[in-house]
Amino acid sequence: MLDLLLVSGLIEARSHERLGLLSQSCPDPELAKFYRGLMASEARHYGIYWGLATTYFELEIVTKRLEELATVESELLSTLYPEPRIHS
């Protein structure tokens, strides 16, 4: 269950990062505002997963496992062809 919560949280965190980049580079102010709204939602979603993980598991265990999963994520992403994506 911990891995499910943390992987879901990582997906939301990465979407937050990507939407932030989109909002900063978008020439259309209304679309940029829309992206910022989505970005805030993704941050809340990440917070929910983090909160659940730290409710049911010890903080030290959660933090250590998140670091491990983020390392695996980084290694996997380095093998992929870069292309635009939100949830990946």
Q: Domain extents for the chain?
A: 2-77
User: In 3D, which of 79, 83, 85, 17 has the Cα closest to residue 45?
Assistant: 17
Task: Give the Cα separation of 84 and 9 in Å (integer).
Answer: 20
> Residue 88: its pLDDT value, please?
59
> Is it true that domain 2-77 has CATH number 1.10.3720.10?
no
Query: pLDDT-based confidence at 53, cuts 50/70/90?
Result: very high
Mean pLDDT confidence for 59-70 = 98
> What pLDDT digit, counting tens, does each position of 17-35 carry?
999 999 999 999 999 999 9
Side chain identity, residue 20: G
